[in-house]
Amino acid sequence: MAVVVEVKGLKKHFNGEVHAVDGVDLTTGEGEYLVLLGPSGCGKTTLLRTIAGLEEPTEGEVLIGGSVVNGLPPRARRIAMVFQSYALYPHKTVLQNITFPLKAEKLGREARLNKAQWAAGLLGIGHLLDRKPRHLSGGERQRVALARALVRDPSVFLLDEPLSNLDAKLRATARDELKLFQQDIGTTTIYVTHDQVEAMGLGDRIAVMYEGRVRQVGPPVEVYDDPADTFVATFIGSPPMNLVERGDQLVGFRPENFLPQAVVAGNGNRWSLPFHVHRVEHLSGDRHLYGTVPAGREHVRVIARLPATVTTPVDPDTTYEFAVHERHLRFFDRVSGERTAPRPVRD
């Protein structure tokens, strides 16, 4: 029953100059949770709005459930969208907000009420039905927005940064609930965020966008472990992947794989570097080491992340031998930033 959303050669230009979306091909799976991830201004929201029908593409096609929906108004696309600000109607009560789409569908009064109560029950906001949005907390508003999206039995959910208006603590629980909720109803969902933690946690697959293009699509682990280019490598991961120049290549490695030599197993298959530590940060049990390694004639800033299990003492302003196991090294073209074939780096 779940529906596939497909985007073919999609371009959206504003005023003929700004290429907000610049040639995107993307297909969701059935009932998949696809996350569009990218920095602000990368075109992810424009892409979502084009799928919703709030923007008309300059070029290319949008297909929902196999049929082209270009030119169809949003209401004809059987989609539901949750906005960053939730966009609740401030003059309507929660119940009126939730039933509004059903009224537009000309559903009877009784049926509307039943549907709204079902959705409100599912999201645990049954006791708030008589309130106005301004009397609700951020989390409650988000649920009302979800309920309003849910009652329409949409074939696709489009979520535009629905967690970004919540405070950090609430965001973690809301993320969890959102995931469970989507698993329950099994509707294909496209979720836009600039927060990689949300993307990694929620997405079945992540599409990383930058400057109007999709740089990489894949499951979170794949995007994290095997970034397609230096943008994805440095955008995902906190702290990001270290990049060290070596000939015509950039060698990338994750901070958690850059460890004291003694801890890195294997003799011939690791890359050792003298790591001059400038600063040590203690973060939730781990130690983040900020420092430099030599690369050619220069020094490059890199970060190492030692898990609590590594107890080697480390002091600032000292140089240590650190190493990366060969299997954790990634290679990129120095000019284009694209992923290239690995090359041996014996120490």
Partner 1 sequence: MALQRERVEPGTAGRKPEWERAGGVRAGVRPTLADREGVLAPLFLLPAVAYIVALVAIPFLLAIAFSFSDVTAGDPSFDWVGLRNYRRIFQDPVFWQSLRNTFVFTVVSMALTVVLAKALAMVLVADFRGKWVVRFLVLLPWTTPVALATIVWLYLLDSLYSPIDWMLRQIGLLDGNVFWLGRPGLAMVSVVLVHTWRIVPLAAVIIMAGLVAIPDEINDAAAIDGAGFWRKLTEVTLPLTMPVIAVAALLGAILTFTDMTVVYVLTRGGPTNATQVLPSWAFIRGIVGADLAQGAAIALFLFPLLLAAAVAILRAVRRMEVL
Angle subtended by helix axes 138-150 and 168-185, to nearest 10: 20
Structure tokens at 295: 């690369």
Give the nearest distance from C-beta 205 to partner 1 in angstroms: 24
**Stretch touching partner 1 by CB under 8 A, among 98-106, 230-238, 250-258, 328-336:** 98-106
Give the nearest distance from C-beta 213 to partner 1 in angstroms: 25
Structure tokens at 179: 């995931």
Give the nearest distance from C-beta 100 to partner 1 in angstroms: 5
Q: Which is nearer to partner 1, 84 or 114 (CB)?
A: 84
Among 105, 211, 225, 326, binds partner 1 (CB under 8 A): 105
The 140-179 site mask, x for binding partner 1 (CB under 8 A), equals --------x---x---------------------------
Which backbone phi and psi does 160 adopt, to 5 degrees? -105, 100
Which backbone phi and psi does 319 adopt, to 5 degrees? -105, 135
Q: Which is nearer to partner 1, 74 or 240 (CB)?
A: 74
Extended strands (E) in the chain = 5-14, 18-27, 33-37, 59-64, 67-68, 79-82, 156-160, 188-193, 205-210, 213-218, 242-246, 249-253, 259-260, 270-283, 286-295, 298-306, 318-325, 330-333
Task: With beta carbons less than 8 A apart as the criterion, state whether 129 and 120 touch.
Answer: yes
How many residues make up the chain in this entry? Answer: 347
**Stretch touching partner 1 by CB under 8 A, among 60-68, 80-88, 161-169, 266-274:** 80-88
The 31-70 site mask, x for binding partner 1 (CB under 8 A), equals ------------------x--xxx----------------
Q: Which is nearer to partner 1, 159 or 324 (CB)?
A: 159
204 contacts partner 1 (rule: CB under 8 A): no
Q: What is the C-alpha separation between 16 and 120, in angstroms, rounded?
A: 44
Q: For residue 67, with 0-12 CB atoms within 10 Å meaning exposed, 13-18 middle and 19 or more buried, which class applies?
A: exposed
Q: Which is nearer to partner 1, 49 or 194 (CB)?
A: 49
Cα distances (Å, whole numbers) of residue 266 to 230, 326, 327, 346: 27, 9, 11, 11
Q: Which is nearer to partner 1, 158 or 178 (CB)?
A: 158
Q: Which is nearer to partner 1, 187 or 249 (CB)?
A: 187
Q: Which is nearer to partner 1, 91 or 109 (CB)?
A: 91
12 contacts partner 1 (rule: CB under 8 A): no
Q: For residue 146, with 0-12 CB atoms within 10 Å meaning exposed, 13-18 middle and 19 or more buried, which class applies?
A: buried
Among 16, 66, 90, 108, binds partner 1 (CB under 8 A): 90
Report DSSP state, residue 304. E
280 contacts partner 1 (rule: CB under 8 A): no
Residues making contact with partner 1 (CB under 8 A): 49, 52-54, 73-75, 79-81, 83-85, 87-92, 100-101, 103-105, 134, 148, 152
